[in-house]
Amino acid sequence: MSQLVESDESTPLLKDDASSDDFQDADYKSRWRSIRVMYFTMFFSSVGFTIVITSLWPYLQKIDTASDASFLGWVVAAYSLGQMVASPLFGLWSNHRPRREPLVCSLLINISANVYYSYVYLPASANRFHMLAARALVGFGAGNVAVVRSYVAGATSLKERTNAMANMSACQALGFILGPALQACLSFIGESGATVKVIGLQLNMYTSPALLAAAFGVVNMLLVVLVLRGCNFSPSPPLSDQVEVPEVEGNIDHVAVLTSNLLFFIIMFIFAVFETIATPLSMDMFAWTRKEAVLYNGIIISCIGFESIAVFLIVKVVSQRIGDRPVLLGGLLVIFCGFFILLPWGNHYPLIQWDDIKNNSVVNQTAATPPWGSNSTVDPRGCPVAQTWCQYTPAIHLGQYVIADILIGAGYAACNVMSYTLYSKILGPVPQGVYMGWLTASGSGARTLGPVFVSNFYTNLGPRWAFSVVCGMVLAGVVLLASLYRRLIAFSVRHGRVKAK
C-alpha cells in the first residue's frame, strides 16, 4: 500500500521508460520547461482578454452610437461563447494529437482576430456587429486554455498539482494585472491618436491594445513551436513524440465532476458580471468620462491582480494544511460579502444626463461626427436618463466600490485556483483534455450568460436587483458545495490510496 501511495502522489502522467539518472534529469528539466511554456501561454491569454476589457464600452460607444449597455453584454459574452465552442474541440484534438497542433492553430486565430478588432471602425455601418464577430473569434482562439490545463495536469504528480495549478493561476493573474495596466498606459494616446496611412490603421487608445495582444500572440506561438515538448496522454498507440499512459484502476465519480462544473459555472458567472459592469457602473455612479473610466478601472483591476497573486501564495500554503474544499468554500463566502456591500443605500443619488432629453444637440453632434474626427470631444457625464432607475436608486459610493472590488478579487482568486486543482484531482490519472475542455466550456458558458444577464438587468432594473440576484447565486453555490462536500475528493482518496484532508 505504501508503494501505491508513493506512486500516486509523486508520479506524473508524463513519464518515459528510460531509467538512467542522466535521462531522468534531462526528462525532468524538459518537462518543466514545457510546463513553463504553458504558464506563459496562460499569461498571454489573460493579457489578450483583459487588455481591452475596460475600453470595450467606450470603444463601442465611439464606433456605433446606436449601441447601449445591453449590446455591451453581448459583445463581452461573444468572447466566452467562442471559447465555450472551441474548448471541447481543442481538448479532444489534444487527446489524440500532439498538443502543438491545437495550440498553434488557436494562436493563429487569436492573432488574426485581434487585428480584425483593430479595424472594426472602418466599415460604413454595423460597426458594433463587426466588434461582436471580432470578440467571438478572439474567444475561439482562447479555447486553448483547456489544452494548457490538461497538459499541466498530466505533466505533474499529485504532490506537484496544487503548486503547479497555483503557479498557472498566478501567471493568469499577472496577465490580469498587465492587461488593464497596459490599457491604462495606452489611454494617454487618446481617442484620436495617429494614422498609419500605409495600412489604413488608426492607432489610438482603443486599437493599440488589441495590436499589442496580437504581438504577444506571435511571441507565444514561437515559444510553443520552439520549446514545447511534444507529448500525448491518450491511450492510443504512442507516436514518436508520445508516451503511454498506465492502465487506471477504478472509475471517476461523475457526480463530483458535474458538481465541479456547476460550481465553476457559478464562480465564472459571478466574476463575468463584475468585469462587465465595472466600466458602465463607474461612469454612471461617479460621472467619469470614457477616458477616466478606462484609466481608473485599469488601475483598480491591476491592483486586484496584485492582490490575486498574494492570495495564490496564501492558498498554496493554506490548502496543504486544511485541504482544497475549505478554501473553495471560504472564497465563495468572501465573494458574497463583496457583492452584498455593492447594494446601493443612503440618500445620495447619481448625476443624471438630463441634457439627453432637454437638448438633443449632444446626441446629434456625437452621431454626426466621424468616429475619429477632431470634433468628437462630447462626452456626457453621469447616469443616462433612459435608465429610469437612476432617478430613485441611491448612488454607490466610491468606498463601497473599492472595498467590494477587493473582496470579490480575493474570493475569485481563491475559488479559481481551487476549482481547477480539485477538478484535476477528482479526474485522477486519465487523459484530461476533454474533461478540461468541458470545465472551460462551463466557465465560458457562464461568461457568455453573465454579461448578457447583468447588462440587461442593470440597464432595466438597476444595480440593486442585479447584485441581489448575484448574491442569491453565490448562496446557491455555497449550499451545493456543502451538500456534496464529501464527494469532492481526489481520485486516489476515493479509491483508498491516500488519506483525505
Name every residue whose Cβ is closer than 8 Å to that of residue 457 and which is 6 or more positions away in sequence. Answer: 465, 466, 469
- What residues form DSSP beta bridges with 353? 384
> For 387, which DSSP code?
S
- Please tell me the predicted confidence (pLDDT) of residue 461: 87
Tens digit of each residue's pLDDT (9 = 90 or more) over 463-496: 888 899 999 999 999 999 999 888 888 777 766 5
Span between the terminal Cα atoms of the chain, in Å: 18
Assigned C-alpha cell, 341: 456591500
More confident residue, 457 or 365: 457
Split at pLDDT 50, 70, 90, the class of 12 is very low
Size (the chain), residues: 501
CA neighbor of 466 nearest in space, from 407, 351, 389, 378: 389
Determine the Cα–Cα distance for residues 190 and 130; give it in Å rounded to an integer: 22
- Please tell me the predicted confidence (pLDDT) of residue 473: 92
In this prediction, residues 93-97 reach a mean pLDDT of 78
CA neighbor of 390 nearest in space, from 429, 426, 351: 351
More confident residue, 15 or 50: 50
Split at pLDDT 50, 70, 90, the class of 499 is low
- Please tell me the predicted confidence (pLDDT) of residue 490: 76
- Please tell me the predicted confidence (pLDDT) of residue 248: 46
Which stretch of 71-75, 85-89, 205-209, 377-381 has the lowest confidence by average pLDDT? 377-381
- Please tell me the predicted confidence (pLDDT) of residue 250: 56
- Please tell me the predicted confidence (pLDDT) of residue 107: 92
Q: What is the pTM of this model?
A: 0.65
Which architecture, in CATH terms, is 2-494? Up-down Bundle (1.20)
Split at pLDDT 50, 70, 90, the class of 6 is very low
Determine the Cα–Cα distance for residues 86 and 137; give it in Å rounded to an integer: 10
Determine the Cα–Cα distance for residues 21 and 304; give it in Å rounded to an integer: 44
- Please tell me the predicted confidence (pLDDT) of residue 230: 55
CA distances from 479 to 259, 355, 415 (A): 12, 47, 15
* Domains of the chain by residue range: 2-494
- Side chain identity at 85, as an amino acid letter? V
Orientation of helix 69-96 relative to helix 56-63, angle to 10°: 120
CA neighbor of 207 nearest in space, from 119, 304, 315: 119
Determine the Cα–Cα distance for residues 133 and 347; give it in Å rounded to an integer: 42
More confident residue, 195 or 212: 212
Name every residue whose Cβ is closer than 8 Å to that of residue 60 and which is 6 or more positions away in sequence. Answer: 67, 71, 72, 75, 128, 131
Question: For residue 359, is pLDDT > 70?
Answer: no
Assigned C-alpha cell, 143: 479555447
More confident residue, 361 or 438: 438
Tens digit of each residue's pLDDT (9 = 90 or more) over 286-329: 888 877 887 888 788 778 878 887 887 888 788 888 888 899 99
Q: What percent of the chain has pLDDT over 70?
A: 80
In this prediction, residues 421-428 reach a mean pLDDT of 79
Tens digit of each residue's pLDDT (9 = 90 or more) over 275-295: 778 888 888 888 888 778 878
- Please tell me the predicted confidence (pLDDT) of residue 3: 38
Question: For residue 43, is pLDDT > 80?
Answer: yes
